[in-house]
Amino acid sequence: MSRHTINFTLNGRPVTADVGTHQNLTEVLQESFGLFGARESCGQGLCGCCTVLIDGAAVTSCLALAAFADGSDVQTVEGLADGEELSPEQEAFIEIGAFQCGYCTPGFVLMTRQLLDENPDPDDDEIKHYLSGNLCRCGAYPEIVQAVRLAGEKRRAR
Amino acid sequence: MAETSTTTVGQSYGRLEGHAKVTGRADYIYNLRLPSMLHAKIHRSPIGHGRINSIDVSAAAAMPGVHMVVTGEDVKTVLPEPYYGPAFHDQPILALDKVRHFGEPVAAVLAADPHIAERAARLIVVDYEELPAVYDEIEALDSEAIVHEELKPAGTFADLKHLSGRRDTNVALDFHLRLGDADKAFAEAVHVFEHTFRTQQTMHTPFEPIVAIADVTHDRAIIHSSTQSPSFVRYELSRLLGWPESNVRVRTGHLGGGFGAKVYVKVEALALALSMLAHRPVRVAQTMEEQFYTITKHPSTFRIRSAVDDDGRIVGRKCEVWWNGGAYADIGPRVTQKSGFTAAGPYDIENIDIDSFALYTNRPPAGALRGFGIPQLVWAYESHTDIIARELGIDPIVFRKRNILRDGRPQAVGTIVKDGEFEPVLDETARRLGWDRPYDKGEGAKRRGRGVAIGFKASISPTTSSAIVSVNADGSVIVYCSTVDMGQGSDTAMAQIAAEVLDIPLDRIRVVNPDTDVTPYDMSTLGSRSTFHMGHAVRLAAADAKEKLVAMAEEVGMPEGSNAPLPELFIKKFGMRAGTIVGTANFKPDYAPTDPETGLSPNATPFWMIGATGAEVEVDTETGQFTILRMINVCDVGKPINPAVVETQLSGAAVMQLGFTTTERMILENGQLTNPSLADYKVPGIFDMPVIMENGMIEAEQHNGPFGAKGAGESGTFGVSPAIANAIEDAVGVRIAEMPITAEAIFRALRAKDGAPLEED
Amino acid sequence: MTPFELAQPASLAEAIALLDPNDTAIRPIAGGTALMLMMKMGLYEPQKLISLRGIEPRYSEVAATADGGLRIGAVTPLRQLEMLPVVAERAPVIAHTMRRLSNVRVRNVARLGGHLAHGDPHLDLPPVLIALGATLAIAGPNGERTIAVEDLFQGYLETALAPDELIVEVNVPAAAAHTAYLKHTTRSADDWPALGIAVALDMQGDSVSGARVAIGAATDTPRRLTSVEAALQGEALSDAAINRAGEAAAAEAEVHSDARGSAAYKRELIRVFTGRTIRQATGREA
Beta pairing, strands C166-172 & C135-140: antiparallel
pLDDT value at B164 more than 80 = no
Express each pLDDT in B653-664 by its tens digit: 999 999 999 999
- A41, A80, A148: which to substitute to probe chain B, counting the most B Cβ within 10 Å? A41
The Cα-based distances of C180 to B4, C221, C274 in angstroms read: 64, 20, 10
pLDDT at B2: 43
- C265, C269, C274: which to substitute to probe chain B, counting the most B Cβ within 10 Å? C265
pLDDT at B597: 83
Query: How is residue B267 annotated by DSSP?
Result: S
Contact B361, B326 (CB under 8 A): yes
Average pLDDT over residues C195-219: 96
Contact B354, B175 (CB under 8 A): yes
Query: How is residue A144 annotated by DSSP?
Result: H
Q: How far is CA C188 from the centre of its chain?
A: 21
pLDDT value at B160 more than 80 = no
CB atoms within 10 A of CB B446: 14
Determine the straight-line distance between the first and last CA of chain A, rounded to whole angstroms. 48
> At B261, which amino acid appears?
A
Are C264 and B683 in contact (CB < 8 Å)?
A: no
Q: What is the DSSP string of chain C?
A: ----EEE--SSHHHHHHHS-TT-TTEEEESS-HHHHHHHHTTS---SEEEE-TTS-GGGG-EEE-TTS-EEEETT-BHHHHHH-HHHHHH-HHHHHHHTTSS-HHHHHH-BHHHHHHT--TT-SHHHHHHHTT-EEEEEETTEEEEEEGGGTEEETTEES--TT-EEEEEEEPSPPSEEEEEEE-SS-TTSPPSEEEEEEEEEETTEEEEEEEEEESSSSS-EE-HHHHHHHTT-B--HHHHHHHHHHHHHH-----BTTB-HHHHHHHHHHHHHHHHHHHTT---
- In whole angstroms, what is the distance from residue B76 CA to residue B642 CA? 48
CB atoms within 10 A of CB C69: 19
The Cα-based distances of C199 to C130, C213, C232, C279, C286 in angstroms read: 9, 5, 11, 10, 14
Task: Report the gap between the CA of B758 and the closest CA in chain C (Å).
Answer: 7
Q: What is the CA radius of gyration of chain B?
A: 27
Question: Binning pLDDT at 50, 70 and 90, where does residue C214 land?
Answer: very high
> In the sheet that B50-56 helps form, which strands lie side by side, from edge to edge?
B98-99, B50-56, B125-130
Q: Which of A95, A106, A137 sits opposite B24 (nearest CB)?
A: A106
Which phi and psi (to 5°) does residue A81 adopt? -75, 150
Range(s) of chain C covered by CATH 3.30.390.50: 187-281
> With DSSP H G I counted as helix, E B as strand and the rest as coil, what are the percentages for chain A, rounded to 5?
40, 20, 40
Express each pLDDT in B289-330 by its tens digit: 999 999 999 999 999 999 999 999 999 999 999 999 999 999
Q: Which residues pair with C181 in a beta bridge?
A: C198
Q: Which CATH number fits domain B296-460+595-753: 3.40.630.30, 3.30.365.10, 3.40.50.1970, 3.30.210.10?
A: 3.30.365.10
- Asked which of A107-111, B175-179, B260-264, B592-596 is least confident by mean pLDDT, the reply is B592-596
Is C59-172 in CATH node 3.30.465.10?
yes
> A126 — contact with chain C (CB < 8 Å)?
no
Mean residue pLDDT across chain B = 96
User: Is the bond preceding residue B82 a cis peptide, omega within 30 degrees?
Assistant: no
- The H-or-E segment that residue B491 falls in is helix B490-502
The residue among A137, A49, A45 whose CA lies nearest residue C102 is: A45
Torsion sign across C-alpha atoms C210, C216, C218, C220: positive
- A2, A60, A137: which to substitute to probe chain B, counting the most B Cβ within 10 Å? A137
Range(s) of chain B covered by CATH 3.30.365.10: 296-460+595-753, 463-587
Q: Which CATH class is domain A88-157?
A: mainly alpha
Residues of C at the A interface, defined by Cβ within 8 angstroms:
1-6, 29, 32-33, 36-37, 39-40, 49, 51, 53, 79, 99, 102-106, 108-109, 189-190
At a CB cut-off of 8 Å and minimum separation 6, what does B449 contact? B441, B616, B617, B619, B727, B728, B729, B730, B731, B732
CATH fold group of domain C187-281:
Enolase-like; domain 1 (3.30.390)
Q: Which of C5, C32, C36 sits opposite A2 (nearest CB)?
A: C5
Are C105 and A130 in contact (CB < 8 Å)?
A: no
Are C269 and B683 in contact (CB < 8 Å)?
A: no
Average pLDDT over residues B692-707: 97
- In whole angstroms, what is the distance from residue B749 CA to residue A75 CA? 51
- In whole angstroms, what is the distance from residue B197 CA to residue B381 CA? 9
Q: Which of C2, C3, C104 sits opposite A130 (nearest CB)?
A: C104
- Asked which of A60-64, B146-150, B630-634 is least confident by mean pLDDT, the reply is B146-150
What are the start-end ranges of the H helices in B434-489?
Answer: none
Are B652 and A139 in contact (CB < 8 Å)?
A: yes
Are A22 and C79 in contact (CB < 8 Å)?
A: no
pLDDT value at C285 more than 70 = no
Question: Binning pLDDT at 50, 70 and 90, where does residue B1 land?
Answer: very low
- In whole angstroms, what is the distance from residue B605 CA to residue B639 CA? 18
Express each pLDDT in B394-439 by its tens digit: 999 999 999 999 999 999 999 999 999 999 999 999 999 999 999 9
Beta pairing, strands A57-60 & A51-54: antiparallel
Q: Which of B682, B758, B760 sits opposite C191 (nearest CB)?
A: B682
Burial (CB count <10 Å: 0-12, 13-18, 19+), residue B698? buried
Q: Which residues pair with C111 in a beta bridge?
A: C77
- In whole angstroms, what is the distance from residue C3 CA to residue C47 CA? 8
The residue among B637, B626, B625 whose CA lies nearest residue B701 is: B637
Residues of B at the C interface, defined by Cβ within 8 angstroms:
115, 119, 122, 622-623, 663, 667, 674-675, 680, 682-685, 687-688, 742-744, 747-748, 758-761
One-letter-per-residue 3-state SS of B290-351 = HHCCCCEECCEEEEEEEEECCCCCEEEEEEEEEEECCCCCCCHHHHHHHHHCCCCCCECCCE
pLDDT value at B3 more than 70 = no
Are C265 and B758 in contact (CB < 8 Å)?
A: yes
> What percentage of chain C has pLDDT greater than the value 90?
97
The ipTM (two decimal places) reads 0.98
Burial B60-76 (b: 16+ CB within 10 A, else e): beebeebbbbbbbebbb
Superfamily of domain covering B32-131+208-256+261-291: Aldehyde oxidase/xanthine dehydrogenase, a/b hammerhead (3.90.1170.50)
Burial B388-410 (b: 16+ CB within 10 A, else e): bbbeeebebbebbebbbbeeeee
Are A114 and C104 in contact (CB < 8 Å)?
A: yes
- B41, B200, B622: which to substitute to probe chain C, counting the most C Cβ within 10 Å? B622
Q: How far is CA B621 from the centre of its chain?
A: 36
pLDDT value at B141 more than 70 = yes
Beta pairing, strands C166-172 & C178-184: unpaired
Express each pLDDT in B434-478 by its tens digit: 999 999 999 999 999 999 999 999 998 899 999 999 999 999 999
What are the start-end ranges of the H helices in chain A?
Answer: 25-31, 88-96, 105-118, 124-131, 141-157
One-letter-per-residue 3-state SS of B647-687 = HHHHHHHHHHHHHHHHCCCCCEECCEECCCCCCCCCCCCHH
Return the SS3 of A57.
Answer: strand
- Asked which of B195-199, B536-540, B592-596, B602-606 is least confident by mean pLDDT, the reply is B592-596
Task: Report the gap between the CA of C55 and the closest CA in chain A (Å).
Answer: 14
Which residues in chain C have their CB less than 8 angstroms from residue B748's CB? 265
Average pLDDT over residues B117-121: 97
Dihedral angle of Cα A43, A45, A51, A56, to the nearest 10 degrees: 140
Listed by start position, the domains of chain A span 3-79, 88-157
Q: What is the DSSP string of B405-445?
A: --TTSBPTTSPBP-S--HHHHHHHHHHHHTTTS----EETT
Catalytically active residues of B are 714
Query: How is residue B743 annotated by DSSP?
Result: H
Average pLDDT over residues B34-63: 98
Q: Which CATH number fits domain A3-79: 3.20.20.120, 3.40.50.970, 3.10.20.30, 3.90.580.10?
A: 3.10.20.30
- Report the interhelical angle of A105-118 vs A124-131 (nearest 10°): 130
Which residues in chain A have their CB less than 8 angstroms from residue C106's CB? 45, 60, 133
Q: Which of B622, B684, B759 sits opposite C188 (nearest CB)?
A: B684
Are B686 and A145 in contact (CB < 8 Å)?
A: yes
Average pLDDT over residues B18-47: 98
Mean residue pLDDT across chain C = 96
Are C268 and B682 in contact (CB < 8 Å)?
A: no
pLDDT value at C68 more than 90 = yes
Q: Which of C257, C259, C272 sits opposite B622 (nearest CB)?
A: C272
Which residues in chain C have their CB less than 8 angstroms from residue A134's CB? 103
Query: How is residue B70 annotated by DSSP?
Result: E
Are C187 and B623 in contact (CB < 8 Å)?
A: no
Is B463-587 in CATH node 3.20.20.70?
no
Question: Binning pLDDT at 50, 70 and 90, where does residue B335 land?
Answer: confident
One-letter-per-residue 3-state SS of B18-69 = HHHHHCCCCCCHHHCCCCCCEEEEEEECCCCCEEEEEEECHHHHHCCCEEEE
Task: Report the gap between the CA of B21 and the closest CA in chain A (Å).
Answer: 5
Question: Binning pLDDT at 50, 70 and 90, where does residue A1 land?
Answer: low
- The H-or-E segment that residue B614 falls in is strand B608-620
> B35 — contact with chain A (CB < 8 Å)?
no
CB atoms within 10 A of CB A37: 27
Please give the residue of chain A at the shortest CA–CA distance from B488: A100
Question: Binning pLDDT at 50, 70 and 90, where does residue B560 land?
Answer: confident
